[in-house]
Amino acid sequence: MNFIKNEDGAALLSVLLLVSVMSAAMVTTFDVLGFYTRQTVTKSHSYQATQYALAAEIIGANEAVDLAKNSELVALLGQSGNPQKVSFPFENGTVTGTLEEYTNCFNLSSVVVAGSGDGFELNQTGYDQYIKLLEELGIGERQAISLASALVDWQDTDDRPMPSGAEGFVYSQMEVPYRAANYPITEIRELRLVRGYNSELVDRLGNLSCVDKRSMMTTINLNSAKTEDASLINALLGLSLSQQDVVTILKARPETGYDHVARFWDHGFLKDRKINSQIRQQFLITPKRYKIGIDVSLDGARVKMESLVYINDDGTFDLISRKFGV
């Protein structure tokens, strides 16, 4: 009889241990379930925040299109140098957006041009202007030619290096070998992969340059250009002007902006100068690019996004690039 009681006691103990283990397992299971539930909710909020950001991008782009039509306001905002900012709340969150004109920069894609088929080849005008811009930054002529040639070779389709350039063979000999892109660059940081470009130079160019493979062209909006853009304008003109000469030209701009680009070319420093039509077409009195910054907060989730849009002549826009987490 005692033996049976001992068996019952052992069985009871086993049951209690099993219940204890199951309880601990259930607690762990619910903890894991709670974790994944929170993850799902967070992901859901992140997805919603991303959708809000994409919607805000469209709103910002349409505002950019409308703003581009108002030359006097463009001139006023361009002189202020401050991006336009707006913030508005919605249920459980807020959206903050900034809109900034981004026309006046050297387009690093402009040293090449679309060739036959899907290929890209040297754009002599853009190449010459880029060399001049590098010289405006205090870089010697020989190094400037080497840097410009390497940038062309990085983006053009063929494997034939330009004089002083660098094609795929050069990069294949690196400690960690890689290939030349043979395609227009997608962002300024990509310059660090191009021979001769160190972090310091890339940072300096970052203040003057941009990447726009939509237009493959460098443009200047004369109505928003500031005196800080003098070196860029001088590089595009390719004339024997000093930066101070360019500043003088900019200061002669009417307060309400130019009503026609011909007013710019009528300035004494430019009148009767031989400037080819390709260069003249780079100087405008309306914006062509805008940078849109979006910051969305929703129930603890946050999405930051930066978009670059191109304003078409027909009043529509095209997306050039979009980056998250900036």
pLDDT score recorded for residue 192: 95
Average pLDDT over residues 206-234: 93
Q: Determine the structural domain holding residue 47 and report its residue range.
A: 2-103+289-324
Q: How high does pLDDT run on average in the chain?
A: 85
162 falls within a domain: no
How is 82-129 classified by DSSP, letter by letter? Answer: --EEEEEEETTEEEEEEEEE--BSEEGGGGEEE-STT-EEE-HHHHHH
In percent, the amount of the chain with pLDDT more than 70 equals 83
Number of independent structural domains in the chain = 1
Identify the helix (H) or strand (E) that includes residue 302.
strand 301-311
Q: Give the 3-state secondary structure of residue 252.
A: coil
Q: Is residue 281 included in any domain, yes or no? A: no
Taking the C-alpha atoms of residue 322 and residue 294, their distance in angstroms, rounded to an integer, is 11
Do the domain assignments include residue 96? yes
CB atoms inside a 10 Å sphere around CB 242? 11
CATH number where 20 lies: 3.30.1300.30
Residue 173 lies in a domain: no
Give me the residue label for tokens 């004109």: 101
Query: Nearest 5°: phi and psi at 14?
Result: -65, -40
Q: What are the tokens at 316?
A: 């529509």
| Nearest by Cα to 229 from 101, 321, 109 | 101
AA letter at 145: I
Pairwise CA distance, residues 234 & 140, whole Å:
17
Q: Residues 308-320, buried b or exposed e (16+ Cβ, 10 A)?
A: bbbbeeeeebeeb
Nearest to 311 by CA among 184, 190, 224, 203: 224
List the one residue out of 308, 306, 265, 315 whose CA is nearest residue 286.
Answer: 315
Beta-carbon contacts of residue 210 (< 8 Å; ≥ 6 apart): 102, 105, 106, 107, 108, 188, 289, 308
Rounded Cα distance between 191 and 204, Å, is 12
pLDDT score of 277 more than 60: yes
- Tokens describing residue 59: 């709103």
On the question of pLDDT at 215 being above 60, the answer is yes
Of 293 and 23, more confident: 293
Tokens of 37: 């539930």
Sign of torsion over alpha carbons 49, 55, 61, 67: negative
In a domain, residue 38? The reply is yes
Q: Mean pLDDT lowest for which of 61-75, 77-91, 234-248? A: 77-91
- Output helix, strand, coil percentages for the chain, rounded to the nearest 5: 50, 20, 35
| Within-domain flag for 73 | yes
Task: Tell me the average pLDDT across 218-244.
Answer: 94
pLDDT in tens, 244-262: 999 999 999 998 899 999 9
User: Which pLDDT belongs to residue 32?
Assistant: 42
Q: What is the pTM of this model?
A: 0.81
pLDDT at residue 37, as a whole number: 40
**Alpha-carbon Rg of the chain, whole angstroms?**
29
Q: Which residues pair with 221 in a beta bridge?
A: 284
- H or E stretch at 74: helix 71-80
Res 310 pLDDT > 70: yes
**Dihedral angle over CA of 50, 56, 57, 61, nearest 10:** 170
Q: Which residues pair with 121 in a beta bridge?
A: 113
